[in-house]
């Protein structure tokens, strides 16, 4: 009887242990497809965003690793006394990935293709040991794949004129999560740029871009946008907010930093987007980072209009000379539409034009949703200003003395361009 009691007690004690063991095994089986690796390729902001965009990456966390005797905080690692020390922490990203969706090889290919591993303790203008290229593996199986991929990329770099890979390959011995404001930094700061320090060398030839013909960029004025070879949210935001709606007469073209052969560009091309205003293949001026529509069109105005009456009208609320040259041309223009001189957006239709004998183009109405109006009390007068919705430039004024009780939109011709109706099909 006593022996039976002992057996019952033992069984009761074992039950929680068995349950705990089953839970542990279930958790291990549930997460066995997940693996971590820590990668450093310069500033962790853009790198983190790049890994998050890869299918199969479960999490990407910015942090500090591979350092000692220095406090692992952003404030400490950027200090002059620490930024060139070998024991300084590197800016890294801890990548958690699903091995059943993305291979370690694919992850490493992205790592090498998205920065310049031949640079020692720097990426572009970011200089210091915190920006070193590094791979910190979490198991020996990873080490074998890392060495294999690194050797392959080294050969490709040699073939393309690059030197020795400087990437440090070591086992992970520490990782410290960066401050919260560094996490998802690009998402939190939507008006900046993405650093793109890639060499343009890729593993698979089907990823390589075809040779780009830049001959058309060598004549006349062109708006050149330096785009990222990888996903760049600032580039996408610029396209969505500005470029996709642009219909201006100056061509807007995209190139990556490795597709600029034959062009004379002074601005560093590692920031994406970078908008460069060019004439005859030479940079006139540029802007690094995201440009909203107002800033873009102000720059385009300087580039296209220069020191002219049109610029004064558009940006300084000036007024055309009465019966100016453009007025004399446009007053007799046949069927068509008048568009914003900068954006190409339709503004006025000849169907609503009339001769007011004022010396300025006159219309009874603008094209719907193309303009907006605001009070103008300048020069001691009470008027209503008319502005372009797409570019925010000044167009003229609207008065209540049009034909048959309709409004008279008194518009400056110098800020317009004309397109015959047969060319637009409306």
| Catalytic residue positions, numbered | 43, 410
Per residue in 317-338, is it b (16+ CB within 10 Å) or e — as a string? Answer: ebbbeeebebbeebeebeebbb
Side-chain half-sphere exposure of 3, counting CA atoms within 13 A: 0
127, containing H or E segment: strand 126-127
Residue 319 sits at the vertex; the CA angle it makes with 315 and 322, to the nearest 5 degrees, is 155
Tell me the two tokens of residue 331: 């007053």
Chain centroid to Cα 403, Å, comes to 49
- Confirm if 162 and 168 have CB atoms less than 8 A apart: no
Q: Is the peptide bond before 144 cis (omega within 30 degrees of 0)?
A: no
Q: How far apart are CA 421 and CA 344, in angstroms?
A: 14
DSSP for residue 89: P
Region for residue 208 given its phi and psi (left: phi exceeds 0; alpha: psi -120 to 50; beta: otherwise): beta
SS3 132: coil
Tell me the two tokens of residue 86: 């070998």
């Amino acid at each position: 009887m006593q022996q039976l009691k002992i057996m019952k007690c033992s069984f009761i004690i074992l039950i929680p242990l068995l349950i705990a063991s089953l839970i542990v095994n279930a958790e291990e089986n549930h997460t066995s497809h997940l693996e971590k690796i820590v990668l450093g390729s310069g500033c962790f902001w853009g790198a983190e965003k790049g890994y998050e965009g890869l299918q199969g990456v479960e999490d990407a966390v910015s942090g500090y690793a591979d350092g000692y005797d220095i406090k692992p905080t952003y404030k400490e690692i950027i200090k002059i006394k620490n930024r060139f020390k070998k024991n300084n922490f590197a800016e890294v990203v801890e990548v958690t990935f699903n091995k059943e969706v993305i291979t370690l090889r694919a992850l490493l290919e992205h790592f090498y293709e998205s920065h310049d591993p031949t640079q020692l303790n720097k990426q572009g203008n970011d200089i210091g040991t915190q920006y070193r290229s590094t791979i910190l593996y979490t198991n020996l199986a990873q080490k074998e794949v890392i060495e294999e991929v690194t050797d392959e990329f080294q050969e490709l770099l040699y073939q393309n004129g690059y030197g020795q890979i400087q990437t440090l390959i070591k086992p992970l011995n520490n990782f410290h999560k960066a401050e919260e404001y560094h996490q998802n930094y690009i998402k939190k700061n939507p008006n900046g740029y993405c650093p793109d320090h890639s060499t343009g060398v890729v593993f698979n030839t089907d990823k390589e871009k075809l040779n780009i013909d830049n001959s058309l960029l060598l004549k006349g004025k062109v708006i050149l946008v330096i785009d990222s070879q990888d996903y760049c949210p600032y580039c996408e935001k610029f396209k969505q907010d500005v470029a996709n709606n642009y219909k201006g007469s100056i061509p807007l073209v995209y190139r990556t930093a490795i597709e600029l052969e034959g062009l004379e560009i002074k601005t560093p091309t590692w920031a994406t987007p970078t908008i460069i205003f060019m004439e005859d293949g030479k940079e006139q001026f540029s802007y690094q980072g995201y440009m909203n529509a107002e800033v873009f069109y102000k720059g385009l105005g300087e580039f296209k209009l220069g020191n002219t009456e049109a610029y004064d009208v558009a940006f300084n609320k000036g007024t055309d000379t009465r019966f100016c040259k453009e007025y004399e041309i446009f007053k007799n223009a046949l069927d068509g539409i008048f568009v914003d001189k900068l954006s190409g957006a339709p503004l006025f239709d000849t169907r609503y034009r009339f001769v007011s004998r004022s010396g300025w183009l006159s219309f009874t109405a603008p094209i719907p949703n193309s303009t907006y109006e605001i009070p103008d009390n300048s020069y001691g007068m009470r008027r209503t200003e008319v502005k372009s919705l797409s570019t925010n430039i000044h167009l003229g004024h609207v008065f209540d003395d049009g034909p048959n009780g309709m409004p008279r939109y008194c518009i400056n011709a110098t800020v317009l361009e004309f397109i015959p109706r047969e060319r637009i099909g409306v």
